[in-house]
Structure 1
Amino acid sequence: MIAISAIGQDSHRFTGGRPLILGGVRIPDVPGLEGNSDADVVLHALTNALSGLSGVRILGEEADRMCRAGITDSRAYVRAALDTLGDIRLVHLSFTIEAAKPRLSDHIERMRESIASLTGLPVGRVAMTATSGEGLTAFGRGEGMSCFCLASALIPD
């Protein structure tokens, strides 16, 4: 087996009138993120990382087609990306979220569990950290959120 890795990133700005969904988990009492889907930056970063492993893009034309068909739950995009992996065996995920708000420490465990369930990984192989950004970027100033995901996998030699 050969070890491979891929990185995915996504960002969205805050908007009113919709819930905040992160890692498939609804975060209460905080404005949601702007997007034509549920704008889940965590699952979008995961989808992009999985696309990096397989070489098959999901976000963009495929996700836009799904949105037009009424599929706006980002878990569907992750499932579509997982379906492209073939012989690639996902072994670990690491996420880092940058956002001045909300404080995410109370929600990280639920997000890890949600992602583990979605991907079939043990929760111990889903790592997640969050940083406030110290006001240095638009995300650190509270204008939106950004997430990076590093996906590690094994492929047959």
Structure 2
Amino acid sequence: MIRAGIGYDVHRLVPERRLILGGVAVPYELGLAGHSDADVLLHAVKDALLGAAGLGDIGKHFPDTDERYKGISSMKLLAEVHKLLNNHGYIVNNIDATIVAQKPKLAAYIAQMNSNIAAALDIDVTQVNVKATTTEGLGFAGQGEGVAAYATATIASVQA
């Protein structure tokens, strides 16, 4: 059986934080505010995976009220989601995601993001497709106030 899930996340851009997207430290004068490393792309991916499995969302599993997750790498939490899926009898089939940001330009970092996600989920890099787009100056992303990400995921049941 194949199941699908959708994830969405947004974080505000702020000074004095690193910009981490897809596990990549992207050089930029602003970073994303959040309890963890605020990797908006990985947050959307994790929510898509959890949704596909019917296991809630990242707030349920990694609440921002829990100090254990303060500043934690979203790559580490993606690996935890992978374990959770495996424990429930699922494997990841594919990930498709879009980062929405006016700046910085992200094309040079997409391949590494794909590789990072694939490695954390123990899948081939061809099963991950990250894209980036702008909003042509419209909305919070277009005005440089924040970054959003959308993700879809399909998983397959390995149970007989």
Same topology, TM > 0.5:
yes
Distance 2:130 2:64 in 1: 30
Indicate yes or no: 2:93 matched with 1:91: yes
Q: Which residue of 2 aligns with 1:73?
A: 73
Q: Which moved more, 1:111-120 or 1:63-72?
A: 63-72
Aligned residues: 156
Hey, which bits of structure 1, 4+ residues long, moved more than 4 A?
none
Distance 2:89 2:8 in 1: 24
Q: Which residue of 2 aligns with 1:143?
A: 145
The sequence identity of aligned pairs, in percent, is 34
SS, match of residue 31 in structure 2: strand
Indicate yes or no: 2:40 matched with 1:38: no
* Cα displacement (A) at 1:70: 5.0
| Amino acid across the alignment from 2:51 | G
Work out whether residues 37 and 67 of structure 1, in 8 Å CA contact, stay in contact via their aligned partners in 2: no
Residues 50-76 of structure 1 show CA distances to partners (whole Å, capped at 9, x for unaligned) of 110222235224323685025521123
In structure 2, relative to structure 1, the CA distance for the partners of 1:113 and 1:31 (3 Å cut) is: same
The structure with more helix, counted as a fraction of residues: 2
Q: Which residue of 2 aligns with 1:4?
A: 3
| Structure 2, gaps ≥5 residues long | none
Work out whether residues 36 and 67 of structure 1, in 8 Å CA contact, stay in contact via their aligned partners in 2: no
Q: Which moved more, 1:107-116 or 1:24-33?
A: 24-33
TM-score, structure 1 normalization: 0.91
* Cα displacement (A) at 1:84: 2.2
Q: Which residue of 2 aligns with 1:119?
A: 121
Q: Which residue of 2 aligns with 1:102?
A: 104
